Structure 1
């Protein structure tokens, strides 16, 4: 597969998430990831997109979410970017490693598991909040992947 990024822009609305999941499935299966790895990536990417949809833009003022998929040898890098305010995502990410890993699941606020879930399902997760929020999700090909 060509190492150039595949870029998709969707309106920041939940009814477009099926397009994102279909594109991810096509890209990841073409790269040779297993069904299980693709399902993990679909959950993580859906969480990142849902954060952008729910928290980036003021109520009633729609925006766009941009996804970039880059396959480079054995690594799939997926970037989810919005142009919104992003304060909620930044706060959740800064609390995730120290608070969530040491707390019982019942003590975590509703909606507070997105970053934690992304970190559990992906090999790396990076969050940047400058002029919007950018979440970079990285999944490496394991040596024993069975192609879809």
Structure 2
């Protein structure tokens, strides 16, 4: 019986939008190395960009603050964890946005949930939010 190996990659990114592209490039390289197809890689890049944008928007605004991203590579599953130290939110209040009534907020989480196989959001008011999302590599890759 072969033993499964798990690799962990961690990034700490400044709370600035210009660094989201670094995360997108990193996740694309990891997913490509894992053998994901181009369509899935694009979905993963969109999802991680939305999670990073959420961390930047709702995270602490001081220049010295970063948010963290962890990539967990295990067999055919890529898990990404985005953690910010912002104000947090009540996760029960996150709902499917009404696209006919555009307002700010909620669309990014909806996009992430639409593109990823598993999504878990935990948040503590005053302490921050963690978005954990996973994508499984399908047999068609």
What's the TM-score once normalised by structure 1's chain length?
0.83
The answer to whether structure 1 residue 120 and structure 2 residue 114 are counterparts is yes
**Cross-structure match for 1:140:** 136
CA separation of 1:22 and 1:144: change in aligned 2, threshold 3 A? same
**Cross-structure match for 2:11:** 8
Alpha-carbon deviations, 1:84-141, whole Å to 9, x = none? Answer: 2123xx45x6332xx43xx4x1224233301000000001111111331110011011
In structure 2, the residue corresponding to 1:68 is in which secondary structure? strand
Q: Distance in 2 between matches of 1:108 and 1:25?
A: 31
Richer in helix (by share): 1
Q: Which runs of 4+ in 1 moved over 3 A?
A: none
What's the TM-score once normalised by structure 2's chain length?
0.87
Q: Distance in 1 between matches of 2:93 and 2:32?
A: 32
- Structure 2 unmatched ranges of 5 or more: none
- Structure 1 unmatched ranges of 5 or more: none
Alpha-carbon deviations, 1:51-90, whole Å to 9, x = none? Answer: 11011114xx132111100111111000001112123xx4
The answer to whether structure 1 residue 72 and structure 2 residue 74 are counterparts is yes
**What are the equivalent positions in structure 2 for 1:1-148 lying under 5 Å apart?**
3-58=6-61, 61-62=62-63, 63-87=65-89, 90=90, 94-96=93-95, 99-100=96-97, 103=98, 105-130=99-124, 131-145=127-141
The size of the alignment, in residue pairs, is 135
Q: Distance in 2 between matches of 1:137 and 1:94?
A: 19
CA contact (8 A) 2:94 2:106 kept: no
In structure 2, the residue corresponding to 1:106 is in which secondary structure? coil
